[in-house]
Structure 1
Amino acid sequence: MKAMLVFLGAFIFGICVFILIKNGVEKDMTPSNSGKETLKLFNVTTKSYEEIPKMHKSESKWKETLSSEQFHVTRQSGTERAFNNEYWDYKENGVYKCVTCGTDLFLSETKFDSKTGWPSFWQPVAPENIGYHEDNQFGMRRVEVHCARCDSHLGHIFEDGPPPTGKRFCINSASLKFEKTSVVPIKNTKFEKATFAGGCFWCMQPPFDQVKGVQQTWVGYTGGHQDNPTYEEVCDGTTGHTEAIEVVYDPSEVSYEELLEVFWQNIDPTTLNQQFADKGTQYRTGIFYHNEEQQRLAEESKSKLGQSGRYSKPLVTEITEASIFFRAEEYHQKYYQKAPQHYKNYKYGSGRASYLEKMWGDKVDFK
């Protein structure tokens, strides 16, 4: 009888701990100092991607290192005067870097005369070095461009640029500093995107981040009908979106088929509108293809897995065309680095880790 009471007590205690962990994680997602956020950014000098820490400073610290105009543009999203700035007609050969953190942003060979009076480029040195968000100021709907490392405002992107991209990155000179070089090699690697939904997006980022050939990942929301949803709105289940991950990868290093394997090995494809402890359409699993080849490979992989005998129930993971991917709030990005203990508690407490270990064994990293 005593042994039975001890067992029942331990069982009830375990349930209470899981509930507390789950609630605590969802209600208090402020990152701890135990995990430092890092980014993979392209370095023109070394011609390679490097892992560097995200830069955060107080406004007072930025004011100590920036001129008044630089501060106005980069930290207050200001705009300098056209035709009256340092680089609008500059023609030297070299690299344009972020004035606040030194990140490589644009190459001189992608610069062109847009007749606007601001420096204009048709592509950045690498897609990971810059970020975007919607700007609805002044009654206009534009897309703002910012430095991925320090979030400094750079300018805006427009769809009226020259070939081969058709893009015009209209950038403030005050947000740039130029470094002259004799030869600047352009990064010609053609990266591709893959988009997956596997329940809680915290748990989907680590397995893809460690794959060789994956350049960058973001977690966010897709597949719904609401623009720019917040985490709270998606959690309500009314936006139609599901938590998802966007993967930027180099197809010369890792194939889409290999990414599909990583995806299948980190989800339960037999549960509809649910992944482990999380229930609702916002936790449905899905593969969102970006072209016909991805669609073909996704359908083939699902069919093959369904016929493998690994699962006793049919696979319900949806395969649909990719739509707009809305990046989640910054505190969700690489949450496993920002709050490693919370992340670990949730992954094990939700039942995800034990299920994956049971289904896939040593093929999956459970850390």
Structure 2
Amino acid sequence: MLECWPLHCLGTHCLEIVNCSVATYNVSVPNQSGQDLTAAQRQILYEQGTEPPFSSSLNDAKQAGVYVTADTNWPVFHSDDKFDSGSGWPSFTKPINPQAVVLKPDNSHGLGRTEVVSADSGAHLGHVFADGPEPTGQRYCINGLALKFISQEE
């Protein structure tokens, strides 16, 4: 169990962190409305796109740290909750905090799915499925291009 830190702020945005600390992570300088994003990142974040499976280096990342949104550096997932789902996308059992993301019904493409969006910017991150490991039984299947990884060492 990591040290607890009750509140994390990025500018005017604050997020309560439960059961972990991001106090040692350098996530204090957010992007400004998606500046410095690639065209592929913009397509995923703002047009609900999906990257090809196994295309993100974050899929195999094993280092300790925090995953933040690529557009605003909003903390959304922790490496402690990451697992290899075999799906080809970075997968997590839960968000860093329930308030970090918003879940929305997604019936696009004739599929009944649940979309995962950033609670900060509303940007599309991926989808959540009820086929993950215990204890949550959830698999947050997230586009690597929607994320940035902040190492615990930084």
TM-score for the superposition, normalised by structure 1: 0.34
Which of the two has higher C-alpha Rg?
1
Which ranges in structure 1 are unaligned for 5 or more consecutive residues? 1-37, 48-54, 183-367
CA distance in structure 1 between the partners assigned to 2:38 and 2:139 by the alignment: 26
Match of 2:87 in 1: 116
The counterpart of 1:45, out of the listed 15, 22, 27, is 22
Higher relative contact order (CA 8 A, sep 6+): 2
1:72 aligned onto 2:72: no
Q: How does 1:44-193 map to 2 (within 5 A)?
A: 44-46=21-23, 57=33, 62=34, 64-182=35-153
Identity %: 38
Question: What is the CA-CA distance between 1:56 and the residue it aligns to?
Answer: 9.1
**Unaligned ranges ≥5, structure 2:** 1-11, 25-30
RMSD: 2.0
**2:3: which partner in 1?**
none
Structure 2 contact 126–143 (Cα < 8 Å) conserved = yes
Tell me the SS of whatever aligns to 1:128.
Answer: helix
By percentage of residues, which structure has more helix? 1
1:92 shift after superposition: 1.2
Runs of 4 or more off by more than 2 Å in structure 1?
Answer: 42-47
CA distance in 2, matches of 1:158, 1:181: 28
In terms of fraction of residues, the more strand-rich structure is 2
Cα shift at 1:96: 0.6
Calculate the TM-score normalised by the size of structure 2: 0.80
Query: How much does 1:106 deviate?
Result: 0.7
Paired residues in the alignment total: 133
Measured in 2, the distance between the counterparts of 1:65 and 1:56 equals: 9
Q: Is the 8 A contact 2:58 2:90 kept in 1?
A: yes
